[in-house]
Amino acid sequence: MENYRTLKTTDGATLSYRLLRSSSVQKPLIVLLHGMASNMTRWSEFLEHTKLKQHWDILRLDLRGHGESFWRGRLHMQLWCEDLRAILDAEGYDQAVLIGHSLGAQVAVNFGARYPQRMRGLVLIDPVFYQALRGKMRRFGLLRSCARGFTALIRLLNFFGLRRRSIPNRDLQKLDALTRERFLDVGKQKEMLELYSSPWEDLKYFPTASFIHELMEIIRPLPSLATIPAPILALLSSAMTYTDPVRTREILAAHPRTTIVALNAYHWPLTESPVQVREAIEDWCEQLRLNKII
């Protein structure tokens, strides 16, 4: 049964998460981390169908600033990592397998570097390495100083009351189902790519300043994977939208305990290839549970 829970942080934020346990006996923990401008409903379909529920407790959360963990303050990687640590402490878990998509993968790597003793494993779905950036993301990286100034201006306007009074949440499981029906099932992959990569669509459901903060965080250089002793499963979209796939593979392959699986997707494999993602994660986690990963 999945239970809804909240945690009040020392700085006044309310973190929302759900914890699924199939029995009263605590099992090893998996944590599901969503991507940029997203929320925990991105994992609803995965959770409905996965076999992992038999042998694992599964926790999914809205990262601070997302979904029901709404927050208008500054967002940054250290804050997300501290929030995650606080949730693990509150629930009594010493270790976890972190499974993250895009921004969630960045949080997972940063958490693993900060708290290596708390890591049992990492699953990184399309992680973003600064050295591999290309296209729009690379150009944004070159304009970081301008983005900081623009964000400061927006924060100032917010301070004087110029902001949206309410921002709607959205069910990403329903969005994914509709996207497959309207685009993927009829061969309109490019139209789907345009919709999912459009910042204007995301900004309907996300504060503008927070969106820019997230962009800056997602392209921030990651800690070296060498600082993380835990094994890594990397799921990489074959048509990676924001990063160079060859360079990304080179960076991941430098970690001696990394397994790389190619996915038939652009950058949203939980939408585009949900069965392939789920089966790859289930197989790897089962090997990890049985201590068969060297």
Per-residue pLDDT tens over the stretch 240-254: 778 888 999 999 999
SS3 71: coil
User: What's the pLDDT score for residue 148?
Assistant: 63
What does the block give as tokens for 9? Answer: 């942080």
| Host domain of residue 116 | 2-289
Query: What's the total number of domains in the chain?
Result: 1
Asked, for residue 294, whether it belongs to a domain, the answer is: no
Which CATH number goes with the domain that contains 256? 3.40.50.1820
pLDDT at 142 over 70: no
Whether 9 is covered by a domain: the verdict is yes
For residue 52, being part of any structural domain is answered with yes
The two most distant CA atoms of the chain are separated, in Å, by 57
The pLDDT assigned to 255 comes to: 95
**2-17 confidence digits (pLDDT tens):** 999 999 999 999 999 9
85 part of a folded domain: yes
pLDDT of residue 147 exceeding 80: no
| Strand spans (E) along the chain | 2-8, 14-20, 29-33, 57-61, 96-101, 119-125, 232-237, 258-263
